[in-house]
Amino acid sequence: MTDKIAYERHGDIAVLRIQNPPVNALAQAVRQGLSDAMDRAEADTGVRAVLIVGDGRAFIAGADITEFGKPPVTPHLPVLCNRIEASPLLVVASMHGVSLGGGLEVALSAHYRIAQPSARVGLPEVHLGLLPGAGGTQRLPRLTGAEPAIEMITSGRHVKASEALEMGIIDRVTEGDPREVGLAFAQELLDRDAPRRPVSELPGAEPLDWDATYDNVLKKGRGQISPATAVRAVQAASELPFDAGLAAERRMFADLMQTDQRQGMIHAFFSERAVSNLPELKGIAPRALNAIGVIGGGTMGAGIATACLLAGMSVVLIEMSEDACNAAGKRIAGNLAGALKRGKISQPQHDALMGEALTLSQSYDALSDVDLVIEAVFEDMSVKREVFGKLDAACKPGCVLASNTSYLDINEIAAATARPADVIGLHFFSPAHVMKLLEVVVADHTEADVVATGFALGKALGKVSVRAGVCDGFIGNRILAVYRDAANHMVLDGATPFQIDKALVGFGFAMGPFAVADLAGLDIGWATRKRKAPHRHPQERVPTYIDRLCEQGHFGQKTGEGYYVYEKGKRGGVPNPKIADLVAAEQAELGITPRPFSDEEIVRRYMCAMVNEAARVVGEGIARRPLDVDMTLLFGYGFPRYWGGPMKWADIQGLDKVLADIESFADEDAWFWQPAPLLTDLVAQGRTFDDLNKDAAK
C-alpha cells in the first residue's frame, strides 16, 4: 500500500483516509493506495464496511491534472471506480470541502454518500476541455435523471450539499467531523442491514431529444467541443447498458484528451494560478489595505469603489463638485443594487456599504487615513500629474499611490510626487466591479512591497492580477492596438468589418473587433488616432473612413449608429450600409483594388499580429512570461479560453508556421509585419513560448 492512504479499523468498518495535500488529487499513488486498501479491507477478517474519507481541506479535487498529456499509468481511475463499486463490502463516502471530477466519481462508486453542509460537488472536466471519464457521465444521470446531469456536467458548476441532496447525488447531509459522521452513518447502515447499492445497477436515464440538446450546448459553448461531447456520453447512459456506456464515455474522453482545446484549457488552469505567483515577491509582506481612496467617480472610479466596498474595504471617493459627488454616489448605488439583485449581498450589507463604508468628498483632506488611493480621472498627463501632486500632500506616509491610466507613463506620473517608490499603476477594466483582469504596472522606482500590495488588492477583489512593465498600453492595450491595426488593414484591402467580426466569432471571441469598437464608443479610437497622428510613422496604414461617421456624431451603440446600426430595444445591430461606400471611397483615394479574404486568412492575420506584438512585449520584459500575456488576453479581452491564450495558440500551431506566415505577409507590408526578435530566436532554437514559462518557474 502507498503512503497516500491511511488504513485503520474501527470495529467492523475499515477507514481509508486519503492523504495527498493540498487537495487530495487522484495521483497514481493515491489510486494504487485506494486499490490496495480495498483489497486489504476485503481480506481483513470481520470487516463489513469501508469508509472513504479525505484528510485536509477536501474529499478529492479530481484526477491529478499534472498527469494529463503523459502516458496513463495503472491503476486507471475508471477501473478503480468499478473495483470500489463491485466490492462485496458496503462502501460509504464521507465528503467535505470539494468532491470534483474524479473525486465525485469515486464517491458515486461508493454505495452511500454523506456530506458536510459546506461540501460542494461537481464534474468540472469541461473546463479542462474534457468530460468526466471515470463513469461520471454514466452514474450521475442514473441518480439525477438526464437533464439535471447534463446541466451539471456541461456547466461544470459546483453544487452545494443541500442541492446535491435534493438532486439525489448524496444520501445525507450531517455537520461534524467527516470521519466521525461517516463512521456513524456506516454503522447505522450495517445495523439495519442496508444492502449494497451500486449506482451502475440503477436503470439508465430517460430519453431526451439528444440532437437538439447537443446543438443547444454546442451553440452555447461558442466552439468549445467538450460540453457538447458530454451530451453524447449522457445519451449513451440512456441508450446503452452500463458497461457499453462506460466504454463509450472512455472513447470520448480519450478523443478529447488528444484535442488542442484540452491543451489550451489545462494551460489556462495552471496559468491562472501561476500568474500572480511572482518569485520576486516571495516573503515580501504587502502593506495594509483597510481604507481605499478613489479619485474620480465616473464609470471607472465608481466601478473600482464598488469592487472595494464589496471586498469589505471602506472607500473615500473624491469628486470635484457636489453634483459630481452625487452622480458618483448614484453610480455606486446602481452597481450595488445589481449585486443585491444577483444575491451577492444582503439588504443590510447593501445599506451598510452605502452608509458608513462609503465617504464622498470634494476635499483631498478626507484621504489622510487611506492605505491606498487609486486615481481614475481623465486620461491626460497634466491632469494626472496635478492629482498626484495633491495626493503627495494629502496622503499619509506609506500610502500607496496608484494610477488607473490605460497607457500613460507611470514614471512621469510618479515624478510628480516626492515618493515615486510608493507609486504604481493599477489598470482596471470596465466595468471594474465585474471584469476579472487587473494589470499591476511596475514603474522604475516602485518598491517591492508596493507591488505586493497591488497583487494583494487584486486578490482581495477576486481579480486575476498580471504584472506589467511601463510602455504605451502596457500588455493588453499595446497588443490590442496592433491586432486592431491588422483588422483595419484587411478592411482597406477588401474584407468587410462584418466578415472580420464573423470570422473572429467563429474563432471563439464573444464579439469581433468592430462590434467591440461600437460598444466601447468610436469616439475613443477617433481621439487616439488624432493623438497619435503627429508621431505616426510614414509607412503606417491607418484607415480614416470611420472618421467620416464620427464627424457626423455617430459613435457606435451609444448613438445608435457605427459599424452597425442599432434599433432601440433590440440586442445587437445590423451592418451599417454606409460602411461599404465609405471604404470604397478610401480605397479609390489610395489606389487599392480590393481582394477577397477567406475567413481562415482573416483569423490567421489577426492572430499572427497579436502573437508578434505579444512576443515583443515578452522580449522587452513588459510581460515577464508568455503566460502573463495569455492571462491578460483571456481575462481582459475576451480571448477564447479553450485556446489557452495567444501564446499557447501559437505554440499549438507551431512557432515556425506562425513566423512563416508573418514573413509572407511582410511581402505586402514589410514595415507592419517585422517579425519580433523573440519569435525569430525561439524558432531558430526550436523552442516554444511554453518553454519560457517553464524556465521562469524553475
**Residue 65 or 354 having the CB closest to ligand HSC:** 65
Q: How far apart are CA 28 and CA 77, in angstroms?
A: 9
Which residues partner with 18 through β-bridges? Answer: 5, 54
Residue 695 CB, nearest approach to ligand HSC (Å): 17
For residue 636, give Cα distances in angstroms to 378, 428, 466. Answer: 21, 9, 11
CA dist 129 and 254 (Å) reads 11
Q: Which residues, at least 6 apart from 630, have a Cβ–Cβ distance to it below 8 Å? A: 267, 268, 271, 639, 644, 645, 646, 647, 648
Cβ 544 to ligand HSC shortest distance, Å: 48
Nearest to 34 by CA among 49, 17, 21, 46: 17
Catalytic residues: 105, 125
The minimum distance between CB 72 and ligand HSC, in angstroms, equals 4
* Virtual torsion, Cα 76, 82, 88, 89, nearest 10 deg: 70
Which stretch of DSSP H or E encloses residue 15?
Answer: strand 13-18
CB 304 within 8 A of CB 404: yes
The nearer residue to ligand HSC, 102 or 178, going by C-beta atoms, is: 102
The Cβ of residue 49 has, within 10 Å, a number of other Cβ atoms equal to: 26
In the complex, what is the shortest distance from the CB of residue 132 to ligand HSC, in angstroms, rounded to a whole number?
4
Cα dihedral across residues 475, 478, 482, 483: positive or negative:
positive
Contact 236, 207 (CB under 8 A): no
- Residue number, 100 or 517, with CB nearest to ligand HSC: 100
Output 71 or 686, the one with its CB closest to ligand HSC.
71
Report in angstroms how near the CB of residue 156 gets to ligand HSC at its nearest.
8
Tell me whether residue 25 or residue 325 sits nearer to ligand HSC (CB atom): 25
Strand partners, 122: 100
* Inter-CA distances, 482 with 403, 635, 644, Å: 24, 18, 20
- What's the DSSP call for residue 623? S
Distance CA 674, CA 194 (A): 73
Nearest-approach distance from CB 456 to ligand HSC, in angstroms: 16
How many other CB atoms are there within 10 angstroms of residue 208's CB atom? Answer: 18
Place of cell 471607472: 300
Q: Which is nearer to ligand HSC, 281 or 607 (CB)?
A: 281
CB of 430 to ligand HSC, least distance (A): 26
Q: Quote the CA–CA distance of 222 and 219 in Å, as a whole number.
A: 5
Considering the complex, what minimum distance in angstroms separates the CB of residue 246 from ligand HSC? Answer: 11
Sheet architecture: strand order including 98-100: 98-100, 120-122, 159-160
Q: How far is the CB of 540 from ligand HSC (least distance, A)?
A: 42
Helix, strand, coil percentages, rounded to 5, for the chain: 55, 10, 35
Alpha carbon distance 466, 468 (integer Å): 6
Contact 179, 94 (CB under 8 A): yes
Q: Which residues pair with 52 in a beta bridge?
A: 16, 93
- DSSP letter for 90, please: E
Cβ burial of 455 (10 Å; 0-12, 13-18, 19+) is buried
Q: Which of 416, 348, 352 is nearest to 381 (CA)?
A: 416
Residues that bind ligand HSC (CB under 6 A): 22-23, 25, 61-66, 72, 76-78, 98, 100-102, 105, 124-125, 128, 132-134, 136, 273
Whole-number minimum distance, CB 131 to ligand HSC, in Å? 7
Which set of grid coordinates corresponds to residue 138? Answer: 454514466
- Report the nearest approach of ligand HSC to the CB of residue 250 (Å): 7
Residue closer to ligand HSC by CB (options 17, 139) is 139
Decide whether 132 or 513 has the Cβ nearer to ligand HSC.
132
Report whether 521 contacts 558 (CB < 8 A). yes
CB of 124 to ligand HSC, least distance (A): 4
* Residue placing its CB nearer to ligand HSC in the complex, 61 or 292: 61
Instruction: Specify the residue, 66 or 362, whose C-beta has the smaller distance to ligand HSC.
Output: 66
Q: Cell 456547466 belongs to which residue?
A: 155
Strands (E), 328-457: 358-361, 372-375, 400-403, 423-428, 437-442
Report how far residue 583's alpha carbon sits from residue 579's, in angstroms, rounded to the nearest whole number: 6
Neighbours of 179 (CB within 10 A): 18
Phi, psi of 601 (to 5 degrees): -65, -40
- Asked whether the bond before 640 is cis by omega within 30 degrees of 0, the reply is no
In this structure, the chain runs to a length of 698
Q: How far is the CB of 41 from ligand HSC (least distance, A)?
A: 23
At residue 456's C-alpha, the angle toward residues 422 and 267, to 5°, is: 120
> Whole-angstrom Cα distance, residue 674 to residue 610?
13
